[in-house]
Amino acid sequence: MDRNIKIYIALLVLIFGLILLADKGQPKPIDWTPTYSVNDKIPFGLYVFDQEAKSFFKNQKIKRIATETPYEYLDSQYDDSEGVENYKVKGNFINISEVNNIDDQSMKEILYFVSHGNNAFLSMKEFPTLLLDSLKIQIQTDFPPADSVVTWLANKKINTRKYTLNSGLNDYFSKIDTLNTTVLGYQNNKHNKQINFIEVPYKNGYVYLHTQPVAFTNYTLLKKEQYQYTENILSYFSEGDIIWYTKGPKDERISGSPLRYIMSQPPLKSAWFLGLFGILIFMIFNAKRKQRIVPIIKPLENLTVDFTKTIGNLYYQEGDHTNIIDKKIIYFLEKIRTDFLIDTTKLDDDFIKKLHYKTGKDEKDIQELVTLINNHRNSYHGSLEEDLLRINNAIEKILH
């Protein structure tokens, strides 16, 4: 294993160990978020109430709605056949939530359901505006909020005991239609008696409104005898089926992600992200490309030039200037024939003009070269070094 990799692994193990050491003995922080979700075991979740629903609603069928709105469910249960025009289900619609999670269309359908001889129970701190306007009710909140309120039922025949709820907010009904509304419960905050539970008739049914949904949370139900207050409230719905809208303010459908369990457990979630962070660090430090050294291959040498230089030097050292001049002339004339397609049989004025037109070189320079070539060919004595230099310079002027 590479030495650097060993260092990275040791560093990650050290960081992980320090995190475990820092968390050792630390109490798990309590999540006080008021989710009012049937899946949450935190203080303000409804997990316990969901598990004990059958004991609260004895001999009653419970239908939980989570994946559709109240309008979608109730509308699907309405039988509009001629002569019927009634719901297939009968009983009580209930919803427990921190804030309003019912849209206006669903609220209209709920009231229509109530008008056909059914009941609706809503326990929340913010009720739908459409409902409040329809029932002529107003909600008020005391500020600053208190840590707890004392609650009790108005009907002494049911229970005379008072219960303390840790709600954080003090919502109550500040205005009701006294001619039609029945007060079922009160709360006491700073020695002020306030209404928190009412019954309002609506056509052939009743609407029950309650401002302390904390009474149904895990935190309240697990306290000694606090569950009795919850039982007393639910005693008003002892008949008919229970249609429970369990969907919270946020969509609570179970995630289909394979990591849903890991993400739901804080220790596993921390370990997951720590592992991803370690992999990222490893990738960053090993992003440099690693490969074997590529050997340098020298290009093949052009030996033709060296060979030519060697032969030229040989002729030059031997002093055979005539032979060198002949070779230069042959090379020059071959170049003219190949590149410019000019006949080199006769080096006359016609040749000079053609070469001048095709090369664009000075006609005097061409005339000088032709004269030197003809003189060399007509000479019967050996050429001198000066003749070689003059012919070579003249050829260079034409070819370069």
At 199, which amino acid appears? E
pLDDT at 70: 94
N-to-C CA span, the chain: 64
Contacts 24+ apart (CB under 8 A), 14-17: 15/274, 15/278, 16/274
pLDDT at 207: 97
Instruction: Residue 108: give the domain boundaries.
Output: 47-253
d(CA 124, CA 135): 16
Res. 91: pLDDT tops 90: yes
Averaged pLDDT of the chain: 84
Based on the domain organization, do 242 and 123 belong to the same domain?
A: yes
Higher-scoring residue by pLDDT: 170, 318: 170
Q: Is 142 domain-assigned?
A: yes
Based on the domain organization, do 354 and 248 belong to the same domain?
A: no
Count of Cβ atoms closer than 10 Å to residue 97 Cβ: 24
State the average pLDDT over residues 339-364: 88
Domain boundary pick from 253, 273, 290: 253
Based on the domain organization, do 66 and 194 belong to the same domain?
A: yes
Based on the domain organization, do 234 and 350 belong to the same domain?
A: no
Domain boundary pick from 219, 253, 287: 253
Closest listed residue to residue 212, CA positions, set 108, 121, 101: 121
d(CA 68, CA 9): 49
State the average pLDDT over residues 43-57: 94
Q: Is 351 domain-assigned?
A: yes
Based on the domain organization, do 178 and 310 belong to the same domain?
A: no
Res. 383: pLDDT tops 80: no
> Do residues 278 and 12 touch, judged by C-beta distance below 8 A?
yes
State the average pLDDT over residues 232-248: 89
Based on the domain organization, do 57 and 199 belong to the same domain?
A: yes
User: Strand (E) positions, the chain?
Assistant: 62-65, 78-79, 86-87, 91-96, 119-123, 138-142, 149-153, 163-165, 170-175, 182-189, 192-202, 205-210, 241-245
d(CA 109, CA 115): 10
Read out DSSP for 277-332?
A: HHHHHHHHHT-S---PPPPPPPPPP-HHHHHHHHHHHHHHHHT-HHHHHHHHHHHH
State the average pLDDT over residues 132-146: 86
pLDDT at 253: 46
Q: Is 16 domain-assigned?
A: no
pLDDT at 277: 82
Based on the domain organization, do 227 and 367 belong to the same domain?
A: no
